[in-house]
């Protein structure tokens, strides 16, 4: 399997002249970490949707050292600040969890200090991983009526005013975010599966989706690029609402996606995504993260509606272990469903016959 050529990737992310692999300092460490990063698995699940057999390919980004696709993003963001970075510099970033874990591991490997600004929705499992890796966590300042994301960003501004030497990685506006996925995630997928009809990709900052689209539009122009978001998110505009999933969605329009052409956007109800995760885990043994459930539900919905769509890739940002206290926990489900204002459709799976899993819809 072709793996990323690490010095080349890091060099292109930094945007300077050729760099040598195995060098000292931050850049050398990033080259080593990128070279050691695994090719994440791409696994095929055959499903019967609306009476037709279909192939769903799961690109399992959770099978990576820091447990999510944000490991790639973190390497890219860190490479982009290599020129201003000094040994012992302090990095600061806002995170809903996964990016903070990846950055904490990277900062530790590179000898950097790291402050992560988080909010109250941070899953406990991710909080423990970040602090265990030596990151300093700062809770977002309280501000009634202001979104969690905006509170985190305002807190970063306050910290930067007090500490002008800190380096902010800024996943929301840093072009290294989409570029990492353009240069790395998407080409890797194409080495595994050169030809597929559609890619379903979840959105938070929009970096993954923008990067995937930039690569696939050129390298596989017939591939449909579908953005997946949750109801209540305003990453694509629209009306803000209560969101219960972490990782997917945002409370502001994605700047990375402003110039990206998409073939479709699917807005998935969070309970549809959660129901999909739980049913899929029971039927197939794949325990996916919540956003992967949203992506899979969107893919199945499109396959049911469009009989020409026979084969698609679902980019799965992380796995379910992080969410064992939430979406895979019956008490949490009971509690949160108290806020549910309507019944929603959700995919149901099984039985499996001859390696094909039946996908139907139920309401819950």
Ligand X SMILES: Cc1ncc(COP(=O)(O)O)c(C=O)c1O
* Calpha distance 84→11 (Å, rounded): 15
Chain centroid offset of residue 13 CA: 19
Min separation Cβ 98 and ligand X, Å: 5
Cβ proximity to ligand X: between 279 and 314 the closer is 314
Among 64, 68, 272, 346, binds ligand X (CB under 6 A): 68
DSSP helix/strand/coil, 199: strand
Please tell me whether residue 95 binds ligand X under the rule CB under 6 A: no
DSSP helix/strand/coil, 6: helix
DSSP per-residue codes, 32-84: HHHHHSPPPPEEEEEEEETTEEEEEEEEETTSSTTSBTHHHHHHHHHHHTTTT
Please tell me whether residue 326 binds ligand X under the rule CB under 6 A: no
Among 227, 289, 320, 347, binds ligand X (CB under 6 A): 289
Residues 178-237 that bind ligand X (CB under 6 A): 202-209
Count of residues engaged in binding ligand X, rule: CB under 6 A: 18
Min separation Cβ 226 and ligand X, Å: 12
Please tell me whether residue 248 binds ligand X under the rule CB under 6 A: yes
Q: What is the CA radius of gyration of the chain?
A: 20
Instruction: Enter the tokens of residue 256.
Output: 């990375």
Stretch that binds ligand X, among 66-74, 119-127, 145-153, 346-354 (CB under 6 A): 66-74
Min separation Cβ 228 and ligand X, Å: 7
Please tell me whether residue 56 binds ligand X under the rule CB under 6 A: no
Among 180, 291, 346, 357, binds ligand X (CB under 6 A): 291
Min separation Cβ 62 and ligand X, Å: 9
Residues 329-348 that bind ligand X (CB under 6 A): none
Beta strands across the sheet bearing 224-230: 264-268, 224-230, 198-202, 311-316, 52-60, 42-49, 356-363, 345-353
Sign, CA dihedral 268-151-66-326, equals negative
DSSP helix/strand/coil, 224: strand
Cβ proximity to ligand X: between 178 and 347 the closer is 178
Cβ proximity to ligand X: between 100 and 247 the closer is 247
Min separation Cβ 22 and ligand X, Å: 30
Please tell me whether residue 272 binds ligand X under the rule CB under 6 A: no
DSSP helix/strand/coil, 318: strand
Please tell me whether residue 29 binds ligand X under the rule CB under 6 A: no
Please tell me whether residue 257 binds ligand X under the rule CB under 6 A: no
Min separation Cβ 13 and ligand X, Å: 15
DSSP per-residue codes, 100-121: HHHHHHHHHHHT-EEEEEE-TT
Among 67, 317, 320, 347, binds ligand X (CB under 6 A): 317
- Residue number of the CB closest to ligand X reads 202
Angle at 98 between CA 38 and CA 105, to 5 degrees: 60
Min separation Cβ 18 and ligand X, Å: 28
Please tell me whether residue 318 binds ligand X under the rule CB under 6 A: yes
Residues 6+ apart with CB under 8 A from 111: 87, 88
Phi, psi of 124 (to 5 degrees): -55, -40
Among 80, 94, 98, 357, binds ligand X (CB under 6 A): 98
Q: Residue numbers of the site for ligand X (CB under 6 A)?
A: 68-70, 98, 202-209, 247-248, 289, 291, 317-318
């Amino acid at each position: 399997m072709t793996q990323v050529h690490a010095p080349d990737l890091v060099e292109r992310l930094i945007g300077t002249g050729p760099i040598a692999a195995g060098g000292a300092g931050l850049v050398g460490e990033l080259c080593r970490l990128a070279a050691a990063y695994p090719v994440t698995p791409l696994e095929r699940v055959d499903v019967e949707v609306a009476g037709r057999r279909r192939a769903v390919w799961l690109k399992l980004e959770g099978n990576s050292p820091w447990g999510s696709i944000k490991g790639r993003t973190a390497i890219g963001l860190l490479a982009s600040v290599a020129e201003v970075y000094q040994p012992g510099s302090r990095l600061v970033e806002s995170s809903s969890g996964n990016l903070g874990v990846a950055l904490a591991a990277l900062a530790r490997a590179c000898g950097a200090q790291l402050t992560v600004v988080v909010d109250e929705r941070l899953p406990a499992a991710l909080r423990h991983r970040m602090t265990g890796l030596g990151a300093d966590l700062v809770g977002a300042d309280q501000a009634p009526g202001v979104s969690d994301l905006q509170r985190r960003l305002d807190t970063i501004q306050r910290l930067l005013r007090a500490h002008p030497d800190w380096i902010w990685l800024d996943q929301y506006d840093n072009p290294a975010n989409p570029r990492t996925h353009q240069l790395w995630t998407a080409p890797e997928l194409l080495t595994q599966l050169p030809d597929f009809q559609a890619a379903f990709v979840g959105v938070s900052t929009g970096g993954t989706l923008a990067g995937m689209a930039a690569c696939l539009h050129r390298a596989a122009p017939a591939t449909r690029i579908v953005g997946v978001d949750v109801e209540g998110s305003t990453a694509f505009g629209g009306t803000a609402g209560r969101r219960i999933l972490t990782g997917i969605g945002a409370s502001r329009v994605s700047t990375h996606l402003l110039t990206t052409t998409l073939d479709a956007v699917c807005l998935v109800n969070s309970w549809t995504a959660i129901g999909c995760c739980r049913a899929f885990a029971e039927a197939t043994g794949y325990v996916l993260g919540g956003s992967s459930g949203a992506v899979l539900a969107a893919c199945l919905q499109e396959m049911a509606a469009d009989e020409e769509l026979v084969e698609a890739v679902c980019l799965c940002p992380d796995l379910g272990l992080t969410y064992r206290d939430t979406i895979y926990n019956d008490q949490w489900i009971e509690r949160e469903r108290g806020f549910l204002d309507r019944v929603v459709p959700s995919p149901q799976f099984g039985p499996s016959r001859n390696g094909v899993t039946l996908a139907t819809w139920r309401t819950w």
